[in-house]
Amino acid sequence: MKRISAVLAACLLAACGSDSSLPEASGKANFRAINSIPTSGEIAFLIEERANGTAGYQDVTATTEWDDLSYNFNFDVFFAGETGLTRIATQLVDAVADRDYTFLISGSIANPTLTLYEDEVREFDTDGTIFAAKFLHSSTRPGALDFYFADPAISPVLGEQVATLSPGELSTSADFDAGEYVVTLTTAGDPNDIVYRSETVPFVPGNSFFITLFDGDANDTAPLIVQALPSRGTSVAMPDPSYLPAVEFINISMDLGASDIYDDEALTSLIVQDHGFRDVEDERETASGANTFYYTPTGDTSAVTLEGELTATSGTRYRFYAAGVAGAFDTDIVVPDRKSLETMVKLTMYHGANNFDFLNLYAVDAGESVDDNFPVLAAISRGSQSPNVALTAGVYDIYVTEFNDKTVLAGPYRFDTSLGDIVDLVVVDTVDPAVLDALFLSGTLVP
């Protein structure tokens, strides 16, 4: 092992003089990042190579505090098939003490855009009654919008808007008394042309918020979404209740038989007719709040064979399964993930069969056998939706087996996939109790 002399060591520790060439901090600055890329998963925010938080689309990282020095801020994502993260953007910031820096990453993973907003760090009295808010237009909707932020009883009046913003613009900060608020967006200059009006949301004192307009994604029924992104704490959704929830009915019970579905106990409001085994109905709007759905034999209202409840939230998509065997019918609800990602092919499975408790899912290169491969998901329990599997683009054969068994129960199903594709399947029974089949709710089978 090499040794250095005591003189050299002392010189290194003292930077060989009284004046160090290293910069010295005089204070602290705050940093955070907002993710506005609809086709992204979680984006990692780093200061140099040190993790500084992550944020999914329509969300913000936690606020962190760092010395007022110069830093490269980096943005990394995970691509399927890679062993590490991939850097997609970097920006150098010469931080100034007592300043507040917010990055907005927008555009696409393939072509991201970084925008940096800067302001003073805001401090609040511990016994204060106000909060602060800025308004950010991060939607791609063209044209300027007027932002109104007021008590829910107050209608928009021209001249009382808190900001008029075009895409990418951020308002100055303003103080508001703690209480309940509604955000209303109108076309610029026309308070009667309401583009978006949120439900009522309570705001507590002592915090700063970015009231941010985003584009809706495939998991939203609304084309626009507003989120209150705090400088500390959890983000708060401000959905527009005029965009109703949507529900997709799927019958995976062989024993239930073809059914009519009603949404009232009196069986006068027929919403789905002749809903048979393996039928996947078109998505339809439903009421926000508590819903009860009643199944009867097709054309017969003398008896309800199955009843299920759905508590639905504005703007959310649901799948409503009719499942089970004779004497033990049941319903199940899934909130599907329909969002396409630039960084992967997504594979997911719902276990809707009755003859097997646990199933394995395989996605192997076309022409390969399950015997020479491991499952991509193991031990998927009956009546559960699996997590997403991230796959690279390619041609795959999909198989289903019982847990801890290589005997094929369903498949092969061949898919030729590209990044951004979603292969979404439901495993169901067949007349042969030793054989299963699959319904594919998204993805295109290769003939």
Q: What is the pLDDT of residues 335-383, one digit of tens each?
A: 999 999 999 999 999 999 999 999 999 999 999 999 999 999 999 999 9
Given this model, what pLDDT does residue 13 score? 39
Alpha-carbon torsion angle 238, 42, 210, 30, nearest 10:
150
Give the class (CATH, top level) of 345-442.
mainly beta
Helix (H) / strand (E) element for 246: namely strand 246-251
Q: Flag whether pLDDT at 423 surpasses 50.
A: yes
Given this model, what pLDDT does residue 22 score? 62
Q: What is the pLDDT of residues 190-217, one digit of tens each?
A: 999 999 999 999 999 999 999 999 999 9
- Give the residue-averaged pLDDT of 309-338: 97
3-state secondary structure of 202: strand
Q: For tokens 């626009």, what's the residue?
A: 224
Given this model, what pLDDT does residue 21 score? 60
Helix (H) / strand (E) element for 45: namely strand 43-47
Given this model, what pLDDT does residue 444 score? 87
Q: Collect all residues with Cβ–Cβ distance below 8 Å to 263 and sequence separation of at least 6.
A: 269, 271, 286, 291, 292, 293, 294
160: left (phi over 0), alpha (psi -120 to 50) or beta: alpha
Q: What is the pLDDT of residues 9-23, one digit of tens each?
A: 434 334 444 445 667
Banded model confidence at residue 227, pLDDT cuts 50, 70, 90: very high
- Give the residue-averaged pLDDT of 101-120: 97
In 3D space, the residue among 265, 301, 259 whose CA is nearest the CA of residue 281 turns out to be: 259
Residue 201 class from Cβ within 10 Å (0-12 exposed, 13-18 middle, 19+ buried)? Answer: middle
Q: What is the DSSP letter of 152?
A: T
Can you read off the two tokens belonging to residue 348? 């997911």
Q: For the chain, which residues make up each domain, given as ranges?
A: 28-120, 130-237, 246-334, 345-442
Given this model, what pLDDT does residue 265 score? 97
Helix (H) / strand (E) element for 10: namely helix 6-13
Does 345-442 match 28-120 at the fold level? yes
Q: Flag whether pLDDT at 116 surpasses 70.
A: yes
Looking at the chain, the whole-number percentage of residues with pLDDT higher than 70 is 95
442: left (phi over 0), alpha (psi -120 to 50) or beta: beta
Give the class (CATH, top level) of 130-237.
mainly beta
Q: Collect all residues with Cβ–Cβ distance below 8 Å to 159 and sequence separation of at least 6.
A: none
| φ/ψ (deg, to 5) at 433 | -65, -15
Q: Flag whether pLDDT at 316 surpasses 90.
A: yes
Banded model confidence at residue 84, pLDDT cuts 50, 70, 90: very high
Distance set, CA 152 to CA 160, 182, 183, 354, 393 (Å): 14, 5, 9, 49, 48
Residue 226 neighbours by CB distance under 10 Å:
27
Specify the CATH number of the domain 28-120: 2.60.40
Can you read off the two tokens belonging to residue 285? 């709007």
- CA-CA distance, 358 to 401, in Å (whole number)? 9
Q: Collect all residues with Cβ–Cβ distance below 8 Å to 432 and sequence separation of at least 6.
A: none
- CA-CA distance, 418 to 398, in Å (whole number)? 16
CATH topology of domain 246-334: Immunoglobulin-like (2.60.40)
3-state secondary structure of 206: coil
- CA-CA distance, 170 to 193, in Å (whole number)? 22
Contact at 8 Å (CB) between 306 and 329?
yes
The answer to whether the pTM exceeds 0.95 is: no
Is the previous residue joined to 412 through a cis bond, with omega within 30 degrees of 0? yes
